Homo-oligomer: A and B are copies of this chain.
Amino acid sequence: MELEKDKTTIVLFSGDLDKAIAAFIIANGAAAYDHEVTIFFTFWGLNALRRDEPIKTNKGLLEKAFGWMMPRGAKKLGLSKMNFGGLGPQMIKHVMKKHKALSLPELVELAQEQGVKLVACTMTMDLLGLKQEELIDGLEYAGVAAYLGDAANGKVNLFI
């Protein structure tokens, strides 16, 4: 008989570098404690999952505009505070490297290795015109119903 694992869910709504880092540190920590962990990426949070390189897609003008204006991937996110036109993120990345803390792209990779379920919110993708080919590999695609199914059984449920 298999024991039921503890479950942790995080909604990552924010597209800020610092909040994404916090989300992944908690998620990776919980996975290390053998929790079943889901991060549900919605609204600006989806930007953390975008590929670095521009992807050719067939989009309308407004969707293209969203695509241009939003940061493309984990390396491009700004800070929620003290962004200073991009200087803040550089400072944070510098001290993280100095302290041998994992960068956000490394945290994402570790999460995937540990089996953290990364779920892209399909409703947001529709609204902002984001296509699956613009996002990194290894994601699941679902809506709020799937999130609620996980969260109803979660011991720790956070909105970040």
Contacts and interface: CB of A to CB of B under 8 A. Distances in A.
B81 A15 contact: yes
Identical chains in the assembly: 3
A82 B69 contact: yes
A5 to B, nearest CB: 11
A18 B33 contact: no
Interface in A56-109: 62-63, 65-66, 69-70, 80-82, 91-92, 94-96, 99, 101
Contacts of A159: 22, 158-160
A119 B19 CA distance: 19
A92 B158 contact: no
A152 to B, nearest CB: 5
Interface in A1-18: 6, 8, 11, 13-15, 18
B156 A11 contact: no
Contact of A148 (B29, B81, B94): B29
B44 A81 contact: yes
Contacts of A43: 18, 22
A156 B154 contact: yes
Interface of A: 6, 8, 11, 13-15, 18-19, 22, 25-26, 29-30, 32-33, 35, 42-44, 62-63, 65-66, 69-70, 80-82, 91-92, 94-96, 99, 101, 123, 126-129, 144-145, 147-148, 151-160
